[in-house]
Amino acid sequence: MKIKKLISERLNLIPLGINQLSEEYVSWMNDNEVNFYLESGGDYDIIKLKEYLNNIEKSNIYSWAIYLKGSKHIGNIKIDPINLDTKVGEYGILIGDKNEWGKGYAKEASQIVINFCFNYLNLKKIELGVKMDNLSAINLYQKMGFVEYKADVSKNSIRMFLKND
């Protein structure tokens, strides 16, 4: 499977892989503010990141690097895993470049990927997990139409979904 490049008004989403290997990316993964709500991060070095990116390429995971048009890598977005039987995919996003927070790039990238999932992959539903105290992310997901369906207080997490109606 060849993962397509996706384009929006301000962004290019390029298949994530070894070309994104950089010290800046490593710094995102070790920045407590960036990875505060992530399940990974805090212990990255260039070797671990290289292994991760090589695995992404070999696995053909629907994962993209988010680039500002004509500019820099600011984050990543993915739909993985995908259950082909139920046509449900798991969504995740990271805007690692803190200088680009609050500019609407997460929403723009998400809308491109959601459209791709519903119109090209023919998924029926997209699910995600989010920490209960990540209010900015929850607000974004709700604005995009995601609905909460499960809360797990012991894990401080909420599960949300968006259906392709």
10 Å CB burial of residue 113 (0-12, 13-18, 19+) is buried
Q: How far apart are the first and last CA of the chain?
A: 26
Token pair listed for 37: 């709500």
Residue 49, phi-psi category: left (phi > 0), alpha (psi -120 to 50), beta (remainder): alpha
Q: What global pTM score does this model have?
A: 0.94
Query: What's the pLDDT tens digit per position in 63-114?
Result: 999 999 988 999 999 999 999 999 999 999 999 999 999 999 999 999 999 9
| Beta strands in 40-156, from DSSP E residues, in sequence order | 62-68, 73-83, 88-95, 125-131, 147-152
pLDDT one-digit tens code per residue, 100-156? 999 999 999 999 999 999 999 999 999 999 999 999 999 999 999 999 999 998 888
Residue 60 pLDDT: 77
Task: Check whether 5 has a pLDDT greater than 90.
Answer: yes
Domains observed in the chain: 6-122 (3.40.630.30)
pLDDT of 41 higher than 70? no
What pLDDT does residue 1 have? 61
